[in-house]
Chains A and B, each alone.
Chain A
Amino acid sequence: MTKENKKKDDQIKERSFGIVGVIWKKISVPLTSIFLALFIGGLIMAISGSDPFEAYGALFQSAFGDINGWGRTLEKATPLIFSGLAVTFAFKAGLFNIGTQGQLLMGAITSAYLGFAITGLPAIIHIPLALLGGALAGALFGSIPGLLKTRTGAHEVITTIMLNYVAINITDYLSNGPLKEVSSSDVVARTPPIEASAEIPQVAGLPLGFFIAIIFAVFVWWILEKTTLGFEIRTAGLSGTAAKYAGIKVTAIIVITMVISGALAGLGGAVETQGIVGRYQPGFNTGLGFDGITVALLGKVHPIGNIFSALLIGSMKAGGAKMQFVADVTPEITNVVQALMLFFVAADRVVRWIIRQRETDDEGLTLTTGWGN
Chain B
Amino acid sequence: MEMPAPNPAIMAKKAELVRRLSEVLPSDAVIHDEAETRAYECDALTAYRCPPLAAVLPASTAEVSDVLRICHEMGVPVVPRGSGTSLAGGALPTADSVILGVARMNAVLETDYDNRFIRVQTGRTNLSVTGAVEADGFFYAPDPSSQLACAIAGNIAMNSGGAHCLKYGVTTNNLMGVTMVLMDGTVTEIGGAHLDAAGLDLLGVICGSEGQLGVVTEATLRILAKPEGALPVLMGFDTNEGAGACVSDIIKAGVLPVAIEFMDRPCIEACEAFAKAGYPMCEALLIIEVEGSPEEIQHQLGLIKEIAAAHNPVDYREAADADEAYRIWLGRKSAFGAMGQINDYMCLDGTIPVSALPHVLRRIGELSKHYGLGVANVFHAGDGNMHPLILYNANQPGQLELCEAFGADILRLCVEVGGCLTGEHGVGIEKRDLMVDQFAPADLEAQMAVKDVFDPAWLLNPAKVFPLASSEGRRAVKIAAE
Q: Do A and B bind each other?
A: no
Residues of A within 8 A of B (CB): none
